Amino acid sequence: MLLAKDYIFNDDDPITAEGDLVKIRSKTYFKALGSYGCCMGRKTEWTFRVDPGEIRALGEKPVIPELDGVDAVLDRLWHGKPATTLAAPSVIMALEPMVAKQRKDETKSQTPVEEVAMLSDTAVRRSPAKTELCLVLDNFPGMYRAKIVHRLIFVVQPHGAYLKSLTIESGDDTTGCRSFDTAVP
């Protein structure tokens, strides 16, 4: 079997081997969240089984699956589709005006890009009771100002992708999500 595929990886993401399994972390792209070049993107982990005479791909999964939920909500809002099965009404109401403003700004641009915001930083904090996801978005309307960091903190339903709540924090903390007590996989 020949397996050939282009992928992007970061030097910080090692290739690991555990017994007959090889795991490779790579960067892919979101639908609504932008990530160019060395900017953070959708990190996935490919798993391969190495047997004598054969390498089998066992699949690819997101490293932070909660980000896929946020991306799906933003993508649906960007395209004017309902997101009520993915997020609480309060989350949708907080995001809708920002997405609408970004869409309006993009239509005025000479080089429009179909993305809601640039993903700058992320962290996740998991517990049995809840999962919290911290995002710093660079070009989200009203979300980024010089020397002021605006973090979006989503509470995600345990074992799911439903966004239960959203808190927006602002301050001069330039550490982004690193000051968010994290346990990133």
Cβ atoms of residues 25 and 7 within 8 Å: no
Does 29 share its domain with 71?
no
Copy the structure tokens of residue 54: 């054969």
Number of domains in the chain: 2
pLDDT digits (tens, 9 = 90+) for 74-129: 999 999 999 999 999 999 998 888 888 877 776 665 555 567 777 777 888 888 87
> Across all residues in the chain, what is the average pLDDT?
76
Question: Are 26 and 75 in a shared domain?
Answer: no
Res 65 pLDDT > 80:
yes
> Looking at the domain assignment, is residue 147 inside a domain?
yes
Q: What is the residue range of 114's domain?
A: 65-171
Which tokens hold the place of 126? 């998991």
d(CA 153, CA 71): 14
Question: 185 lies in a domain?
Answer: no
Whether 46 and 70 map to the same domain: the answer is: no
- Checking if the pLDDT of 131 tops 70, the result is yes
Amino acid (one-letter) located at 142: G
Domain identity same for 36 and 122: no
Q: Are 124 and 132 in contact (CB under 8 A)?
A: yes
Prediction pTM value? 0.79
Could you report the per-residue pLDDT of 132-162, keeping only the tens digit for each? 888 877 666 555 444 445 567 777 876 566 7
90 and 120 share a domain? yes
| Euclidean distance between CA atoms 158 and 31, whole angstroms | 23
The neighbouring-strand residues paired with 154 are 133, 166
Q: Are residues 22 and 75 in the same domain?
A: no
Segment 9-14 shows an average pLDDT of 64
Instruction: Please indicate, yes or no, if residue 5 is contained in any of the structural domains.
Output: no
Count the neighbouring beta carbons within 10 Å of the beta carbon of residue 180. 22
Tokens of 37: 């070049």
Does residue 183 fall inside a structural domain?
no
- Residue 176 forms part of a structural domain: no
Same domain, 84 and 52: no
Q: Is the pLDDT of residue 184 over 50?
A: no
- pLDDT of 45 > 60? The answer is yes
